[in-house]
Amino acid sequence: MSDLGYLMAVILVMALATFVTRATPFLLLHRRADHPLLIFLGRYTPPAIMTILVIYSLASVDFIEPPHGAAELIATLLTLAAHLLWRHALLSIAAGTAFYMYALQSGLFV
């Protein structure tokens, strides 16, 4: 198999495998979409997944060694505070991200 043939095969296998993981519940359960269990999961799974994604995003931060994740911690608090105050999603995200980029690139907490 030529190198580009191999690459193409890898891409197609990955595309198929990814689609399978995303499509399985729809293929198996599309006739049962109104089942109370699925409605229950539709209500309670999103808040649970959002909580987990937040934990996951901050999981690689080192809070023990100096600077104790100061940049991430302040950027997180800034985002939360801005959103609780003004509830303007873009503004909250821009504030946290701009601060984090500045802190990282200027070496504020190194």
Partner 1 sequence: MSTTTAALRASLPVMFGYVPLGMAFGILFQDLGYPWYFATLMALLVFAGAAQFMAIGLLAAHAGLLEVAVATLALNSRHIFFGLSLLSRYRSRGWKKLYLIFGLTDETYSLITSTAAPGSSRESDYYLALTALNQSYWVVGSTLGALLGRLIEFDTRGMDFALTALFLVLLIEQWNKLREPFPFLLAALCGSVALVLFQEQMLLVSIALSVVLLMLRYFIESMQRRPMGRP
Q: Min. distance of Cβ 47 from partner 1 in angstroms?
A: 4
Is 104 an interacting residue with respect to partner 1 (CB under 8 A)? yes
Q: Min. distance of Cβ 18 from partner 1 in angstroms?
A: 5
Is 90 an interacting residue with respect to partner 1 (CB under 8 A)? yes
Burial of 30 per CB tally in 10 Å (0-12, 13-18, 19+): exposed
Is 18 an interacting residue with respect to partner 1 (CB under 8 A)? yes
d(CA 89, CA 104): 22
Q: Min. distance of Cβ 66 from partner 1 in angstroms?
A: 19
Residues 24 to 43: which contact partner 1 by CB under 8 A? 24-26, 29-30, 32-34, 36-43
